[in-house]
A = this chain, B = another copy of it.
Amino acid sequence: MSATALAAGLGLRNPDYASKTAFTTTVLPLAADGSAVAQAEAYFESFSPTLVIATEKIGPNAEGIAHMSSGTPAAASRARAEHIFDLAAARGIPSIGIGDNGNEIGFGRIEGAVKKWKPGGERLATRVATDVLFPANVSNWGAYGVIAALSILLGRTDLLHDVETERRMIEACVATHAVDGSTGRHILAVDGTPLAMQQAVVTMLAGIVRNAQIKGYKRPF
């Protein structure tokens, strides 16, 4: 996570510095057991978040069991991120979920659809809903789409990363032993789609952001 964030151009700083400095971030731990509840409360106390976002973060089903997209139970070492989102919901703090299989935090918003349509959905559908859910073919692409939308809303061209940065991010991620989600291989691919396809998505979004900033031109025919 830290390596990929740095490759994305986000400086890794302590929470106090990061909270005051654009394009920096903090990576913090979250427990894999019930102590994550108190940890979530402490984080909210320290940082007073105005929005919480989960990207492809696995969430438990109604019985409290979390699953991989294949239907296999998730590792016991899984950080209990659902406590962040349960707390946000209880306190009325806005939340966004981005995912690509139905087992990730946010899909509780359409739990019935996941159970109906996703193979193994009855088991893996998460109970954890967010205010807004972005289902995507690849979760990363959903996150990039959110950044592109934000870029257009704010009229900014410095938020979305570029294709060379995308390459650095995937390389950094794989260099820390992460695997491609579809093949389990240590290659420059995301959910079975090669690096060039990640860069193609970034290029498409960059084109949309760029075109949104062109005003008033009309073709003469």
Contact = CB atoms under 8 A, between A and B. Distances in A.
Contacts of A183: 217, 219
Interface of A: 68, 70, 72, 181-184, 192-194, 196-197, 199-201, 203-204, 206-207, 210-211, 217, 219-221
B192 A200 contact: no
A203 B197 contact: yes
> Which of A70, A217, A221 counts the most chain B CB atoms within 10 A?
A221
A72 B200 contact: no
A194 to B, nearest CB: 6
21 contacts: A68-B221, A70-B219, A70-B221, A72-B221, A182-B219, A183-B219, A184-B219, A184-B220, A184-B221, A192-B211, A193-B207, A193-B211, A194-B210, A196-B203, A197-B203, A197-B204, A197-B207, A199-B203, A200-B201, A200-B203, A200-B204
Q: How many subunits of this chain does the assembly comprise?
A: 2
A201 B196 CA distance: 11
A220 B185 CA distance: 10
Nearest to A75: B221
A207 B219 CA distance: 34
Contacts of A184: 219-221
